[in-house]
Amino acid sequence: MQQPSPAPSAWYSGVNRAQWLVLAIASAGWVFDAFEGQLFNITRAHMLPELLGTAKDSPEVKQWGDRLLAVFLIGGTVGGVAFGSLADRIGRKPTMALTILFYSVFSGLTYFATELWQVAVLRFLVALGVGGEWAVAAALVAEMFPSKARAHASGIFHATSVLGTWLAALAGLAVGAEWRYAYLVGILPALLVLWVRVGVKEPERWVQARTSERRGSFRELFGSWQWAKPAILGLLLAAVGLGTFWGVTVAGQDLTQELLQRTGVTGEQATRQAQFAYGIVQVAGAGLGLLCFGPLAERLGRRSAFALMHVLALAIVPITCYLPQTYTQMLLMLPLYGFFTVGIHAGYAVYFPELFPDHLRATGVGVCFNGGRLLAAPILWLSGDLKSWTGDLRLAVTMLGGLFLVGLVLIWFLPETKGKPLPQ
């Protein structure tokens, strides 16, 4: 008589204490990484009118908001690519510590900014660390976890960014118009460096690859079609997600504020209600989307999970822009808006490390995710001009949401990595 096959064990069975510690440290770095990245979005409604010397509802405020976000994306590109290559050359641990110091110190210095150009320079420098930390941490988590747990752990790692966004939202709500104090809080992540130095061990895979003279080599990454193809296509895929994040997802706050103004709520009350709707309610849905991507990728495969999320994101954007007629209705829609437009981002942490060998992993991941920032920067610039040109925020956001269709096409040219070991 045939014996029944044993029930499959949970994905986390066999994960040891050292691996959980790496996930905790990498996630903590990413939490504050996201905090620093979102802080500008949360505080710009007070910062920009003050520095520009204009009214809050001035088109110039929205235009420069998107342009400064474009500067941030460019900085993230430089940092992600440079620090990713550095992590392949000198190790994950020292590079992660350096990236955290970068985004902590320069965020804190924003407290002293009195001119718009100073904010632009500091946001660029913060972005260097933000972009670099993600590339290093994503590679680290993928290398430390066993194959059956890799997608779940990587998805959890990326999903913790929600905590950073919530911290930024709470900081923004706490300081109100005194936006400078929120940036002063940004110095605190520097304390993480001590934990990184003590708690992180270099992955055995990197230690073995350390003997390769080609580690962190851009020449090898782009000189061989085997690695250049996933690098270029991954970069384009990330550009869709990052461009839509800053041009579409973040617009949830502006869409809510505009709805409130149409229904008679104005001034500081409208600003704070919009901050809550975006920073707490929408981000809760985004967090669920990020957490769901790992299990979805394990069940359907990486490509099918990406395709499903892109289709649903394409549909939810115009619905959220035009369907809600009251603040309550908007609060009901925003979690779905966040779930589908942000959920794909966990896929980058799951998928990109699986495309590259040990001696090029952080470099390739940095090029994909943060090179995507560079291509997303013109989208942000276009976003500001499009919103100004159309004079209709809902129409502009809906048009930008069409970029999800581009991602849907790109994913079919990339390989399926479900169930395959990391390349050596």
Residue 6's pLDDT band (cuts 50, 70, 90): low
Using alpha carbons, select from 34, 32, 200 the residue that is nearest to residue 100: 32
Q: Supply the pLDDT for residue 1.
A: 47
Does the residue 170 lie in any domain? yes
* pLDDT (mean) for 114-122: 92
Q: Supply the pLDDT for residue 212.
A: 63
Q: Is the pLDDT of residue 187 over 90?
A: no
Does the residue 396 lie in any domain? yes
What is the distance, to the nearest Å, from the Cα of residue 109 to the centroid of all Cα atoms in its chain?
Answer: 23
Residue with tokens 């560079």: 374
Q: What does the alpha-carbon distance between residue 52 and residue 49 come to, in Å, rounded to a whole number? A: 5
* pLDDT (mean) for 191-211: 78
* pLDDT (mean) for 178-189: 87
Does the residue 141 lie in any domain? yes
H-helix segments, 145-224: 147-159, 161-175, 180-185, 192-199, 204-209, 218-223
Q: What does the alpha-carbon distance between residue 256 and residue 276 come to, in Å, rounded to a whole number? A: 10
Return the structure tokens found at 87.
Answer: 């992590």
End-to-end CA distance of the chain: 42
Does the residue 6 lie in any domain? no
Does the residue 419 lie in any domain? no
Q: Is the pLDDT of residue 3 over 60?
A: no
DSSP 2: P
DSSP of 29-90:
HHHHHHHHHHHHHHHHHHHHHHHHTS-TT-HHHHHHHHHHHHHHHHHHHHHHHHHHHHHHHH
Range 231-234, long-range pairs (CB < 8 A, 24+ positions): 231/355, 231/356, 231/364, 231/367, 231/368, 231/371, 233/410, 233/413, 233/414, 234/348, 234/351, 234/352, 234/355, 234/364, 234/367, 234/368, 234/369, 234/372, 234/414
Return the structure tokens found at 421.
Answer: 């070991």
Q: In terms of residue numbers, what domain contains 109?
A: 17-413
Residue with tokens 């809080």: 185
Q: Is the pLDDT of residue 2 over 70?
A: no
The count of structural domains within the chain is 1
Residue 4's pLDDT band (cuts 50, 70, 90): low
Q: Is the pLDDT of residue 232 over 90?
A: yes
Q: Supply the pLDDT for residue 322.
A: 95
Question: What whole-number percentage of the chain has pLDDT above 70?
Answer: 97
Q: Supply the pLDDT for residue 73.
A: 77
Amino acid (1-letter code) at residue 79: G
Q: What does the alpha-carbon distance between residue 171 and residue 54 come to, in Å, rounded to a whole number? A: 24
Q: What does the alpha-carbon distance between residue 70 and residue 86 come to, in Å, rounded to a whole number? A: 24
Q: At what angle do helices 361-390 and 225-244 cross, to 10 degrees?
A: 40
Q: What does the alpha-carbon distance between residue 206 and residue 211 come to, in Å, rounded to a whole number? A: 9
CA torsion, points 84, 87, 90, 95, in degrees to nearest 10?
110
Residue 416's pLDDT band (cuts 50, 70, 90): very high
Does the residue 4 lie in any domain? no
Q: What is the pLDDT of residues 348-392, one digit of tens each?
A: 999 999 999 988 999 999 999 888 878 877 877 777 778 778 878
Q: What does the alpha-carbon distance between residue 244 and residue 99 come to, in Å, rounded to a whole number? A: 25
Q: What does the alpha-carbon distance between residue 161 and residue 165 come to, in Å, rounded to a whole number? A: 6
Between 150 and 208, residue with greater pLDDT: 150
Using alpha carbons, select from 342, 321, 349 the residue that is nearest to residue 141: 349
| CATH value at residue 404 | 1.20.1250.20
Using alpha carbons, select from 284, 287, 342 the residue that is nearest to residue 312: 342
DSSP 353: G
Residue with tokens 């660390």: 129
Return the structure tokens found at 322.
Answer: 């035009």
Cβ atoms within 10 A of the Cβ of 2, count? 4
Q: What does the alpha-carbon distance between residue 196 and residue 218 come to, in Å, rounded to a whole number? A: 27
Q: What does the alpha-carbon distance between residue 61 and residue 57 come to, in Å, rounded to a whole number? A: 7
Using alpha carbons, select from 235, 225, 268, 247 the residue that is nearest to residue 56: 268
Does the residue 2 lie in any domain? no
Q: What is the pLDDT of residues 33-79, one digit of tens each?
A: 888 888 887 888 889 999 888 887 777 887 788 788 778 878 888 89
Q: What is the pLDDT of residues 253-309, one digit of tens each?
A: 999 999 999 988 878 888 889 988 988 899 899 999 999 999 999 999 999 999 999
What are phi and psi for residue 416, nearest 5 degrees?
-90, 130
Residue 168's pLDDT band (cuts 50, 70, 90): confident
Q: What does the alpha-carbon distance between residue 1 and residue 32 come to, in Å, rounded to a whole number? A: 56
Using alpha carbons, select from 424, 417, 283 the residue that is nearest to residue 350: 417
Does the residue 273 lie in any domain? yes
Q: Is the pLDDT of residue 5 over 70?
A: no
* pLDDT (mean) for 407-418: 94
Q: Is the pLDDT of residue 14 over 90?
A: no
Query: Which of 56-70, 168-182, 198-212 has the largest mean confidence?
Result: 168-182
Cβ atoms within 10 A of the Cβ of 261, count? 14
